[in-house]
Amino acid sequence: MLIKIPRNWEIPEGEATSETVYLNRRRFLTSAGIAGAYSIALLSGCTKLGENGPEVKPLSEWPLSKAEAKVYPATRNPEFKLDRPLTDESVAARFNNFYEFSVDKDDVYKKVEGLSTRPWTVEVTGLVDKPKTFDPDDLLRLMPMEERLYRLRCVEAWAMAVPWSGFPLKALIDHVQPSSKAKYVRFVSFMLTQGGNFFAFRAPWPYTEGLTMEEAMNPLTMMVTGIYGHPLPKQHGAPLRLIVPWKYGYKSIKSIVKIEFVEKQPATFWNILSPREYDFWANVNPNVDHPRWSQATERMIGTKKRLPTLMLNGYDPYVAHLYPKDQKG
Ligand SMILES: Nc1nc2c(c(=O)[nH]1)N[C@H]1C(S)=C(S)[C@@H](COP(=O)(O)O)O[C@H]1N2
Ligand SMILES: [Mo]
């Protein structure tokens, strides 16, 4: 029997605080999007996919390119220790924010299949002396690859802890030699025409993000090509994404095609959509609530556990000096 279930009922506890509630209530969902969202709600209401649902193909079963076979698994950097258990690979793989594909989280891993991640190019350009376009496999050969255990905190008050493989963004920045005029770095994801098979909602696509030069050069800031000792699967942002562990997850842009060095603070995806809710800084701060929910605690996905939110997601020894007090959140 088909019953119209209010969408919030099937959102797991802790995820009723959706980044997209704003969008759902306002003008951004296309009428097709609304119909689509309702049928997805009904389906998942019955079969309960997602976070605790059927397995995905384990990463160890995916084929590797020659360059990938040489670097995975990358050596773990012992400096980055966790205060909590790692999230299971299959839990993280079935609970994703990737709005190019879906406004839900539990079906992203299926919807990304149509995205073609090979061949792929990453253009590094703008105010740099040596602009260059990279094949992601070249980066594996050129860059100092390592593994780090990081916490990732979404602005929606859920969190995970995973091993990322990649290299410090600084290593890439050194390679292209920015001019002294460069004050910000702008990151751009692929255009929807390149594989977005579900036009989730009208928005300022492609997804874009930005950091100050100082944030980009901080040793914590990583360009990520892998997870759990294997190349990134598409739902986590293959072939190359950003990870900025002290900021809310929306800064950690996936499937990057362009990195541009610019003079002015760039416009960014969520900040354009809802500046009051998603600021440019997005620094994790338990004391600054989102206008629609508290940020004091977070739920570890795959568990019912809530943990206290850590200032700057627990990375304040590395980055607190970057911010005046009032800019932390
Ligand atoms: N291109 C792109 N990047 C993105 C997003 C997105 O919708 N599109 N969502 C962001 C958000 S809100 C979060 S919380 C993280 C989630 O990363 P994960 O699915 O690998 O856990 O990706 C970020 N990067
Ligand atoms: Mo997020």
Q: In the prediction, which pLDDT does 297 show?
A: 98
Cα of 180 vs centre of ligand 1, distance in Å, is 31
Q: Considering only CA atoms, which residue is closest to atom 19 of ligand 1?
A: 96
Cα of 16 vs centre of ligand 2, distance in Å, is 13
pLDDT: which is higher, 6 or 79: 79
pLDDT band at 236 (very low <50, low <70, confident <90, very high): very high
CATH 3.90.420.10 is right for the domain spanning 20-319: yes
Can you give the C-alpha Rg of the chain in angstroms? 19
Q: Is residue 38 over pLDDT 50?
A: no
pLDDT band at 324 (very low <50, low <70, confident <90, very high): confident
Burial class (CB in 10 A: 0-12, 13-18, 19+), 74: buried
Query: Which of 36-50, 51-65, 96-110, 263-277 is the least confident region?
Result: 36-50
Cα of 207 vs centre of ligand 1, distance in Å, is 10
Q: Considering only CA atoms, which residue is closest to atom 10 of ligand 1?
A: 250
Global pTM? 0.88
- pLDDT, mean of residues 189-193: 86
Assess whether the C-beta atom of 250 lies below 6 angstroms from ligand 1. Answer: yes
Q: Give dist(CA 314, CA 245) in Å, integer.
A: 9
pLDDT tens across 154-175, in order?
999 999 999 999 999 999 999 9
Distances (CA, A) of 89 to 63, 245, 277: 17, 18, 30
Burial class (CB in 10 A: 0-12, 13-18, 19+), 135: middle
Q: Name, in order, each residue with C-beta under 8 angstroms of 329's C-beta and a sequence gap of 6 or more.
A: 281, 283, 284, 285, 287, 288, 295
